[in-house]
Amino acid sequence: MPELSPEDIINFSNISDIGGTDEDFSVPLMYRFLVRYLSPIVRFTFNIRYTGLERIPSKGPMILTSNHVSNLDPIFKILAARRQVFYLAKEGHFQKQPNRFIMKSNGMIETLRSEGAKDALSKAHDVLMSEHALGIFPEGTRSRNTSPPFLQRGKTGVARIAASFPDVPVFPISIIGSREVMPPGANFIRFWKKVEVNIGEPVTFGEWLGSEDGGNFTSSQLGNLIEIDEHGKSSIMKVLYRDFTDQLMSTIESMGAP
């Protein structure tokens, strides 16, 4: 059983808080329209089989994580959520029209390379604070492997975001077959190819942190963490972020991610 109290979780969240941009977050009107009216049509255009759809809530903040082998993967996660899902994308994708219009209209949020990870994390914070769904590919980019296994080691940004919102559910999702539907470099979509999207049981960082099968962190350890210097805090947090990320990727792999 978890040993951390709600107060402990709040204290941990204060330590790990990544902070937002202090900018107003709004949903593009075009994206509202596309998700509400076009996504049901698109869902039936593809040969997709979903499992675990009932686990995804219809409202409230959440983090959807998955493997990434095709440019279609963000769309398959939006179709699974049946609601708006927001993704972070590098500014290079927004520099020219019509790319900029397309990206903005599909829930993509521009992040500035000059600001590094801090800008991306702050904008992810804005999404969750606004009670929306955040889509993350923990690998950081589409897999460049040309043959299985395609799954790469996850980056710890997903853990940093989850720790800052320790009560927000993180969903592991495996997407199987999307590479065959639209292989890297392909200019056409093979709509007839089968895609499987498996949605696993969600976990919050707070639950994971206190679980014996997760962070196995106790109230006593948390108290010590609060008292030590910033260098010590950073070292311990890095270990927790890495452990959370590795377990998340292991779950995605066990769910069939190629």
Sign of CA dihedral 45, 46, 49, 50: negative
**What structural domains does the chain harbor?**
6-254 (3.40.1130)
Q: pTM of the prediction?
A: 0.92
Q: What is the pLDDT of residue 1?
A: 45
Q: What's the pLDDT at 116?
A: 55
**Crossing angle of helices 157-164 and 6-16, rounded to 10°:** 130
SS3 of residue 108 by DSSP:
strand
Location of structure tokens 């089968």 = 194
End-to-end, the C-alpha distance of the chain in Å comes to 33
How much is the pLDDT for 101? 75
Residue 21: predicted pLDDT = 86
73 neighbors 175 (Cβ within 8 angstroms): yes
pLDDT at 25: 85
Asked if residues 110 and 91 have their Cβ atoms less than 8 Å apart, the reply is: yes
Distance (Å) of CA 87 to CA 15, 66, 108, 111, 135: 25, 12, 5, 10, 5
Q: Read out DSSP for 38-104?
A: IHHHHHHHSEEEEE-GGGS-SSS-EEEEE---STTHHHHHHHHHTS-EEEEEEGGGGSSTTHHHHHH
Tens-binned pLDDT, residue by residue, of the chain (258 aa): 456 888 999 888 889 888 888 888 888 888 888 888 888 888 889 999 999 999 999 999 999 999 999 989 999 999 999 999 999 877 666 667 777 777 777 778 877 665 556 778 898 999 999 999 999 999 988 998 888 999 999 999 999 999 999 999 999 999 999 999 998 888 889 999 999 999 999 999 999 999 999 999 999 999 899 899 989 999 999 999 999 999 999 999 999 999
* Alpha-carbon torsion (150, 152, 154, 155), positive or negative: negative
Q: CB neighbours (10 Å) of residue 185?
A: 6
Side chain identity at residue 72, one-letter code: L
